[in-house]
Amino acid sequence: MAAFILRRLAQSVIVMLTVALVAFALFRFVGDPIASMVGQETTLAERAELRTALGLDEPFLVQFGNFVARAVTGDFGISYRLQQPVMELIMSRLPATLELAMVSGILAFAFGVGFGVYTALRRGGWASSTIMTVSLIGVSLPTFLIGVLLIWVFAVELQWLPSFGRGDTVYIGDWWRTGLLTESGRASLILPAITLGLYQMTLIMRLVRAEMLEVLRTDYIKFARARGLSNRAVNFGHALKNTLVPVITITGLQLGSIIAFSIITETVFQWPGVGALFINSVRFVDVPVMAAYLMLIALVFVVINLIVDLLYYAVDPRLRVDRANARH
Amino acid sequence: MFMKTNRAQTRARLMAGIATAAVTLTGVMASAETVRWARVADALTLDPHSQNEGPTHTLNHHIYETLVGRAVDGSLTEGLATDWGISEDDENVWVFQIREGVTFHDGTPMTAEDVVFSLDRARTPPSGMAALHAAVEEVTAVDDSTVHVRMSGPAPLYVQNLTNTFIMSKAWAEENGVETAPNFAAGEEAYSVRNTNGTGPYVMVERDPEVRTVLQAFDGHWADAPEVTEVIYTTISEAATRVAALLSGEVDIVQDVPVQDIARLEQTDGVRVVRGPENRNIFFSYDMSSETLASSDADDNPFAKPEVREAMALAIDRNAIRQVVMRGESQPSAAPLPPFVNGWTEEMDAFGDPDLERAAELMAEAGYPDGFSVQLDCPNDRYLNDESICQALVGMLARIDIRVDLNAQTRSLHFPLIENWETDFYLLGWGVPTFDSQYVFDFLVHTREGSYGSFNGSRYSNPDLDAKIQSLSTMTDLEARDAMIAEIWEEVMEERIFLNVHNQVLAYAMRDNINLDVHPENQPRMTTVTFD
């Protein structure tokens, strides 16, 4: 087990270095940060001077090397745009993104599994058909459009929920700012969480439904019914449990994408998370923030993959047995 | 570790804010009005001299003050200086009378020493304002309320460069280690990025960058108390959300209204839209000097031929661009400067109807009966509908057989093309913060050398004209100077260095009980807000 984790950690470092290398190779195509950093009166000589001072005229491999050397010591530099230390900036924005991702992930998982089981057991019912049809809209409409539609209906027309921002926030500990403990914070979370989670919910629902239909046809379910077990025990104890391995994989990986691709949702709702920070940084060519953000996202994926692998162990006893046998 | 200090700072600031709020409320209880103001981008920093950038100045104008201000009509107004002029004894010296009885937000009085300190800080790199003060040699306080600024030569328009140079407290700066503007390359955050101590009409009580900034009226301010006692400034970068927030009543003033929403907002009950000309012209320019064009199939440089430039001027339909691309929200014009800038005349701005027949004749005369191809470089996120303007021009030039290949991209990729002379044909927008034509000539017309011509992407170079442009900066006889400006414009317009499209129009949307005029530099002041 320990060897397994160590091996995965070593792989993770390689993955992250590769991400950083690719990122730096791409930054040159994003544009020139100097143009956004100085006023239009600045002379060409002064621009060149600033470029040299920031090391932007070096070949990208040298820039990459410098970045890694400093990143190892935990120094990601200072944002060109907001003039604040990058780590501080990202850490101050991260709670907003994580809260949004967690809430929409939980919503997606709970409703996805629930609807999935329901539609698998009640095939052909009108409620099932409705859920299936509505969920199609969820996957086929772009996130941006869903967000704008929700704002229009619930913020502008009905005026039930706020259209932007995170509401009031309070600190938990020294740096975690949460919106979950205030009423306006919770109200602000609803629309972005739905927007972000709708696609994932549909995906999980369809996956659970398909898996359930598959499992319900197998022999051991028939045996279980023949043994006179209650519907509840058969459906949830035997059938659902056996559908969960692929569902957990997908949900785990989707959680990574929820965090990484909350960019659009955060932009539409002016949600002050790392996704919005990243998109603003791209517009400004804020290289230090872009680099640190991409590293962070790589880290998130690496960690989630690790956790998913460990969860397999917990859910699927066969994996444990195989390992144990292999050692003999 | 740093988070701890940061948190402590926030707490301290909040406490200070509550104290200030309490003081303020007792003072003006009768008319406490809050305005919630949203715009597309936040100030990059609160440091008064670090960035020469629109949204940064706009917010800082509420917290800090300048020696002279800019009114909505473009004229200069008194600020922290009550009087200014060129010294009678020495034409190289500007004299400023400093307002008395002004205090900083921390309660200390503002003196001439603070003004000297601030001007020195602003003109010393890495300040973003340094270029505006390049001609300053020395700043001295003659007495408690008089400041002398010695220039390297006569500089009759220097005062025009001061409208965005803020005055800060010397003692506060020294205490907090921010005697110079923050340095990007140094890699650490300066205290002045998120903390302020100005003399302005509002005190910053809360700052959450890109989320929300709260300002409270400063009851120790020297001017009359503003009607707006609290300003909540938020950033909403997405256009649709910004408009939705106004319609749902979550904000009161939206500064950057998307062109396509103006008409709809005007018809919405309870919402008012005000418009005004912005200090920014949008124009095309082209490489007039190279032997050949990199992106063209012509054997020579078509843009070097006056006939081609005239043909293009005859092919562009500015009114069509106004109606179709800008939905009526622009001021078509032929000269690349806004009407309130010194040197503008109605004649130079006038243009006739497109004349394709004559344009085709000119193309044939120039030796391109079958036209030529060329690439047009265009930003797609910098000016109002910039990419669509370029697309419209592509269609218009196709009618005279100029086959344009459009390359529209983000601003950070577009502007280096002009800077590095890597574009043959490009779109550029230009504002004139000094409100004088010389600014246009210095950056766009003069040969590229030293501090001149950095945005001269046309590669135009005319030594005679350069000499005239340089003479402008030291002419103290303003009448002779205006005559010289007219002379230069005549040549620039005749050479057709610019193919001008229009002057941008700004629109602000707000609740219909609020009155706020459009500021030509897009820097609205909440102090000027009144309520019906």
**pLDDT tens across B306-323, in order?**
999 999 999 999 999 999
pLDDT of residue B184: 65
CB B289 within 8 A of CB B341: no
Q: What is the mean pLDDT of chain A?
A: 85
For A16-41, the pLDDT digits (tens) are 889 888 888 888 778 788 877 877 77
- Residue B25 pLDDT > 60, yes or no? no
Cβ contact, residue pair B184, A162, below 8 Å:
no
Cis peptide leading into B126, omega within 30 of 0?
yes
Nearest to residue B281, comparing CAs of B521, B502, B457? B502
Highest mean pLDDT range out of A79-83, A258-262, A315-319, B42-46?
B42-46
ipTM of this predicted complex? 0.83
**Residue B400 clears pLDDT 90, i.e. is over it:** yes
User: How close is the nearest chain B Cα to the Cα of A44, in Å?
Assistant: 6
Contacts of A35 in chain B (CB under 8 A): 411-412, 415-416, 419
Of A31, A44, A80, the CB nearest to B454: A44
Query: Would you call B11 an interface residue with chain A, using a CB distance cutoff of 8 Å?
Result: no
Mutate to test the interface with A, among B183, B192, B193, B211 (most CBs of A within 10 A): B211
* Tokens representing residue B4 in the block: 């701890």
Task: Please calculate the CA angle B118-B124-B127 and round it to the nearest 5 degrees.
Answer: 85
A48 pLDDT above the threshold of 90: no
**Between B234 and B24, whose confidence is greater?**
B234
Pairing mode, strands B34-39 and B253-254: parallel
Query: How close A52 comes to chain B (CA, Å)?
Result: 10
Quick one: angle between helices A183-216 and A143-150, nearest 10?
Answer: 130
Q: pLDDT value at position B7?
A: 46
| CATH fold for domain A95-273 | MetI-like fold (1.10.3720)
A148, B240: Cβ pair inside 8 Å?
yes
Measure Cα distances from B2 to A92, A174, A280, B6 in Å: 11, 10, 24, 6
User: Above 60 in pLDDT, residue A13?
Assistant: yes
pLDDT of residue B4: 41
Tell me, what's the pLDDT at A321?
A: 54
What average pLDDT does range B274-301 have in this prediction?
Answer: 93
Q: Mark B176-211 as b/e (b = at least 16 C-beta within 10 Å).
A: eebebbbbbeeeebbebbbbbbbbbbbbbbbbbbbb
> Cα separation of B418 and B72, whole Å?
31
pLDDT value at position B187? 63
Question: Across the interface, do B131 and A83 touch by the CB < 8 Å criterion?
Answer: no
Q: How far is A197 from chain B (nearest CA, A)?
A: 19
Q: Which of A186-195, B10-19, B36-45, B53-62 has the least mean pLDDT?
A: B10-19
Q: State residue A324's pLDDT score.
A: 52
Mean pLDDT, residues A199-223 taken together: 88
Q: Closest CB to B189: pick one of A30, A85, A152.
A: A85
Find the mean pLDDT for residues B66-70.
94
What is the arithmetic mean of pLDDT over B217-240? 93
Q: Which of residues 168 through 187 in chain A touch B, CB cutoff 8 A? A: 171, 174-175
Mean per-residue pLDDT, B350-373: 94
A-to-B residue pairs, Cβ atoms closer than 8 angstroms: 163
Residue A323, pLDDT > 70, answer no
Position A45 scores a pLDDT of 83
Residue B35 has phi, psi (to 5 degrees) of: -120, 130
pLDDT for A170 equals: 87
In the DSSP assignment, the letter for residue A174 is T
Report in angstroms the alpha-carbon separations of A85 from A79, A298, B213.
Answer: 6, 20, 20
Contact B38, B245 (CB under 8 A): yes
The first and second tokens of residue B127, run together, are 């300040």
| Contact in structure between A238 and A224 (CB atoms under 8 Å) | yes
pTM more than 0.90: no
Residue B30 clears pLDDT 50, i.e. is over it: no
Give me the residue from A31, A77, A156 closest to B248, CB to CB: A156
Whole-number Å distance between alpha carbons of A244 and B156: 78
pLDDT score, position B214: 96
In a mutational test of the A interface, the residue from B3, B5, B184, B268 whose CB has the highest number of chain A CBs within 10 Å is: B184
Nearest-neighbour CA in chain A from B248: distance (Å): 4
Which run of H or of E encompasses B345? Answer: none
Q: CB under 8 Å to B323, separation ≥6 — which residues?
A: none
pLDDT higher than threshold 70 for residue A225? yes
CB atoms within 10 A of CB B484: 19
B248 chain-A contacts, CB cut-off 8 A:
155-156, 159, 162-163
B26 touches chain A (CB under 8 A): no
pLDDT of residue B18: 46
Which whole-number Å values give the CA distances from A284 to A30, A133, B181, B278, B363, in the listed order? 9, 41, 20, 23, 41
Residue of B51, B128, B244 lying closest to A155 (CB–CB): B244
The pLDDT > 90 percentage for chain B reads: 73
Q: Is the torsion defined by CA of A105, A107, A108, A110 positive or negative?
A: positive
Return the pLDDT at A52: 85
Would the CB atoms of A164 and B236 count as touching at under 8 Å? yes
Query: Quick one: pLDDT at residue A199?
Result: 87
Q: Per the CB < 8 Å rule, is A163 touching B194?
A: no
Q: How confident is the model at residue B23 (pLDDT cuts 50, 70, 90)?
A: very low
User: Which of B193, B194, B237 comes nearest A267 by C-beta?
Assistant: B237
Q: What average pLDDT does range B1-22 have in this prediction?
A: 45
Over residues A212-229, mean pLDDT: 85
d(CA B413, CA B259): 24
Q: How far is B376 from chain A (nearest CA, A)?
A: 18
Tokens 């300190």 identify what position? B117
Query: Residue A94 half-sphere exposure, CB side, CA atoms within 13 Å?
Result: 14
Neighbours of A207 (CB within 10 A): 19
- At residue B378, does pLDDT exceed 50? yes
Q: In this complex, do B411 and A35 lie within 8 Å of one another by their Cβ atoms? A: yes
- Asked if B1 reaches chain A (Cβ–Cβ under 8 Å), the answer is no
Average pLDDT, chain B: 89
The fraction of chain B above a pLDDT of 70, given in percent, is 93
Mean pLDDT to the nearest integer, B448-462? 90
Per-residue pLDDT at B445 exceeds 80:
yes
Please say whether the beta carbons of B179 and B44 come within 8 A: no
How far, in Å, CA of A55 to CA of A64, rounded?
Answer: 11
